[in-house]
Amino acid sequence: MSAVKPKLLKGFKDLLPGEMLLREKIISQIREVYESYGFVPLSTPALEYKETLIGYGDEASKQIYMFREPDGYDVGLRFDLTVSLSRVMAMYRDIPRPFKRYQIQPVWRYDKPDPGRFREFLQFDIDTVGTKSMVADAEIITAMSDSLTRLGLKSTIRFSNRKVLNSLLAFSGIPEETAHQLFRVLDKLDKQGLKNVILELGTGRTDDSGDKIAGLGLEDAQIARIEQFLSLNPQTRSDAIQAVSDLFKNVENAEEGIRELTEISEYLDALDIPDDEIVIDLGIARGLDYYTGPVFEAVLTDKRASRVGSVMGGGRYDDLIGRFTGEPVPATGASIGIDRLFAAVRSMGGSDLRSSTADVLVTVMMTERITDYAKVAQMLRREGINTELYTGKQTSIGKQLKYADRQSIPVAVIIGSDEFDAGQVSIKDLGKIKREEVDIKDRKEWVKEKVGQVTIPALDLVNTIRSILAGS
Amino acid sequence: MSAVKPKLLKGFKDLLPGEMLLREKIISQIREVYESYGFVPLSTPALEYKETLIGYGDEASKQIYMFREPDGYDVGLRFDLTVSLSRVMAMYRDIPRPFKRYQIQPVWRYDKPDPGRFREFLQFDIDTVGTKSMVADAEIITAMSDSLTRLGLKSTIRFSNRKVLNSLLAFSGIPEETAHQLFRVLDKLDKQGLKNVILELGTGRTDDSGDKIAGLGLEDAQIARIEQFLSLNPQTRSDAIQAVSDLFKNVENAEEGIRELTEISEYLDALDIPDDEIVIDLGIARGLDYYTGPVFEAVLTDKRASRVGSVMGGGRYDDLIGRFTGEPVPATGASIGIDRLFAAVRSMGGSDLRSSTADVLVTVMMTERITDYAKVAQMLRREGINTELYTGKQTSIGKQLKYADRQSIPVAVIIGSDEFDAGQVSIKDLGKIKREEVDIKDRKEWVKEKVGQVTIPALDLVNTIRSILAGS
Full pLDDT tens readout for chain B, 472 residues: 457 789 999 999 999 999 999 999 999 999 999 999 999 999 999 999 999 998 655 566 789 999 999 999 999 999 999 999 999 999 999 999 999 999 999 999 998 888 778 999 999 999 999 999 999 999 999 999 999 999 999 999 999 999 999 999 999 999 999 998 999 999 888 888 999 999 999 999 998 888 899 999 999 999 999 999 999 989 999 999 999 999 999 999 999 999 999 999 999 999 999 999 999 999 898 877 789 999 999 999 988 877 778 899 999 999 989 888 888 999 999 999 898 899 888 888 755 688 899 999 999 999 999 999 999 999 999 999 999 999 999 999 999 999 999 899 999 999 999 999 999 999 999 988 776 665 556 666 666 667 789 999 999 999 999 999 998 6
Per-residue pLDDT tens digits for A265-318: 999 999 999 999 999 999 998 877 789 999 999 999 988 877 778 899 999 999
Provide the domain count of chain B. Answer: 2
Instruction: Assess whether A407 and A321 both reside in one domain.
Output: no
Instruction: Assess whether A334 and A402 both reside in one domain.
Output: no
Per-residue pLDDT tens digits for B253-303: 999 999 999 999 999 999 999 999 999 999 898 877 789 999 999 999 988
Instruction: Kindly report the nearest CA distance between residue B310 and chain A, in angstroms.
Output: 25
CA distances from A123 to A43, A113, A169, A297, A338 (A): 12, 17, 33, 15, 7
Least CA distance to A55: which residue of chain B?
B4
Instruction: Assess whether A271 and A342 both reside in one domain.
Output: yes
- Give the Cα separation of B256 and B9 in Å (integer): 48
Beta strands at B360-362 and B387-389: parallel, antiparallel or unpaired:
parallel
Q: Out of B46, B86, B356, name the one closest to residue A120 (CB).
A: B46
Q: If contacts are CB pairs under 8 Å, which of residues 248-277 in chain A contact chain B?
A: 266-267, 269-271
Domain final residue pick, B349, B382, B406: B349
The size of the A-B interface in CB pairs under 8 A is 303
Instruction: Kindly report the nearest CA distance between residue A33 and chain B, in angstroms.
Output: 9
Are B53 and B73 contacting, i.e. CB atoms less than 8 angstroms apart?
A: no
Q: Is A38 domain-assigned?
A: yes
Predicted-complex ipTM score:
0.92
Nearest in space to B398 (alpha carbons), one of B358, B353, B443, B438: B443
Instruction: List, edge to edge, every strand of the sheet that includes B310-316.
Output: B40-41, B99-108, B120-129, B331-337, B310-316, B294-300, B155-161, B278-280
Q: Which residues in chain A are closer than 8 Å to B68, comparing Cβ atoms?
A: 67
Per-residue pLDDT tens digits for B96-149: 999 999 999 999 999 888 877 899 999 999 999 999 999 999 999 999 999 999
Instruction: Kindly report the nearest CA distance between residue A379 and chain B, in angstroms.
Output: 9
pLDDT recorded at residue A204? 93
Instruction: Kindly report the nearest CA distance between residue A25 and chain B, in angstroms.
Output: 12
Q: Is A47 domain-assigned?
A: yes
Instruction: Assess whether B376 and B337 both reside in one domain.
Output: no
Contact criterion met (CB < 8 Å) for A69 and B65: yes
Instruction: Assess whether B324 and B436 both reside in one domain.
Output: no
Q: If contacts are CB pairs under 8 Å, which of residues 187-246 in chain B contact chain A?
A: none
Instruction: Kindly report the nearest CA distance between residue B458 and chain A, in angstroms.
Output: 17
Q: Out of A75, A139, A392, name the one closest to residue B97 (CB).
A: A392
Instruction: Assess whether A413 and A314 both reside in one domain.
Output: no
Domain housing A221: 17-349
pLDDT recorded at residue B191? 85
Q: Out of A14, A55, A327, name the one closest to residue B1 (CB).
A: A327
Contact criterion met (CB < 8 Å) for B386 and A37: yes
Instruction: Kindly report the nearest CA distance between residue B460 and chain A, in angstroms.
Output: 20
The CATH number that applies at residue A396 is 3.40.50.800
pTM, entire model: 0.93
Instruction: Kindly report the nearest CA distance between residue B144 and chain A, in angstroms.
Output: 14
Contact criterion met (CB < 8 Å) for B36 and A381: yes
Q: Out of B41, B65, B98, name the one closest to residue A20 (CB).
A: B41
Contact criterion met (CB < 8 Å) for B35 and A357: yes
Instruction: Assess whether B327 and B366 both reside in one domain.
Output: no
Contact criterion met (CB < 8 Å) for A91 and B120: no
Q: Is A83 domain-assigned?
A: yes
Least CA distance to A46: which residue of chain B?
B120
Q: Which residues in chain A are closer than 8 Å to B352, comparing Cβ atoms?
A: none
Least CA distance to B51: which residue of chain A?
A4
Contact criterion met (CB < 8 Å) for A4 and B55: yes
Query: At what angle are helices B370-382 and B461-471 packed, to 10 degrees?
Result: 60
Contact criterion met (CB < 8 Å) for B323 and A3: yes
Q: Is A432 domain-assigned?
A: yes
Q: Is A12 domain-assigned?
A: no
**Residue B71 at interface with chain A, using a CB cutoff of 8 Å:** yes
By percentage, how much of chain A surpasses pLDDT 70? 94
**Residue B57 at interface with chain A, using a CB cutoff of 8 Å:** no
Nearest in space to A471 (alpha carbons), one of A421, A427, A435: A435
Beta-bridge partners for A55: none
Nearest in space to B49 (alpha carbons), one of B1, B94, B90: B90
Q: Out of A14, A120, A374, name the one closest to residue B267 (CB).
A: A374
Instruction: Assess whether B252 and B316 both reside in one domain.
Output: yes
Domain final residue pick, B319, B349, B379: B349
Contact criterion met (CB < 8 Å) for B392 and A138: no
Q: Is A144 domain-assigned?
A: yes
Contact criterion met (CB < 8 Å) for B10 and A70: no
Instruction: Kindly report the nearest CA distance between residue A283 and chain B, in angstroms.
Output: 27
Q: Which residues in chain B are closer than 8 Å to A65, comparing Cβ atoms?
A: 47, 67, 69-70
Q: Is B354 domain-assigned?
A: no
pLDDT of A1 strictly over 60: no
Per-residue pLDDT tens digits for B348-376: 875 568 889 999 999 999 999 999 999 99
Q: Which amino acid is at B247?
A: L
Q: If contacts are CB pairs under 8 Å, which of residues 392-451 in chain B contact chain A?
A: 392-393, 403, 406-407, 409
Q: Is A163 domain-assigned?
A: yes
Are A294 and A264 contacting, i.e. CB atoms less than 8 angstroms apart?
A: yes
Instruction: Assess whether A297 and A384 both reside in one domain.
Output: no
Beta strands at A278-280 and A155-161: parallel, antiparallel or unpaired:
parallel
pLDDT of A87 strictly over 80: yes
User: Which candidate in A15, A28, A34, A36 is best for mutational testing of the B interface (most B CBs within 10 A)?
Assistant: A36
**Residue A371 at interface with chain B, using a CB cutoff of 8 Å:** yes
**Residue B138 at interface with chain A, using a CB cutoff of 8 Å:** yes
pLDDT recorded at residue B301? 92
Sign of the dihedral defined by the CA atoms of residues A403, A406, A412, A416, in that order: positive
Q: Out of B52, B92, B270, name the one closest to residue A371 (CB).
A: B270
**Residue B108 at interface with chain A, using a CB cutoff of 8 Å:** yes
Beta-bridge partners for B252: none
Provide φ and ψ at B176, rounded to 5°.
-55, -30
Query: At what angle are helices B220-230 and B162-172 packed, to 10 degrees?
Result: 140
Instruction: Assess whether A344 and A365 both reside in one domain.
Output: no
CA distances from A235 to A241, A258, A261 (A): 11, 17, 15
Widest Cα–Cα separation across chain B: 93
Contact criterion met (CB < 8 Å) for B70 and A131: no
Least CA distance to B93: which residue of chain A?
A6
**Residue B56 at interface with chain A, using a CB cutoff of 8 Å:** no
Instruction: Assess whether B30 and B107 both reside in one domain.
Output: yes
Instruction: Kindly report the nearest CA distance between residue A232 and chain B, in angstroms.
Output: 28
pLDDT of A174 strictly over 70: yes
- Mean pLDDT across A394-399: 94
**Residue B149 at interface with chain A, using a CB cutoff of 8 Å:** no
The CATH number that applies at residue A344 is 3.30.930.10
Q: Which residues in chain A are closer than 8 Å to B355, comparing Cβ atoms?
A: 40
**Residue B462 at interface with chain A, using a CB cutoff of 8 Å:** no
Domain final residue pick, B316, B349, B382: B349
Instruction: Assess whether A133 and A224 both reside in one domain.
Output: yes
Distant-in-sequence, close-in-space partners of B110: CB < 8 Å, separation ≥ 6: A69, A70, B62, B63, B64, B65, B119
Contact criterion met (CB < 8 Å) for A40 and B101: no
Beta-bridge partners for A414: A426
- Give the Cα separation of B301 and B307 in Å (integer): 10
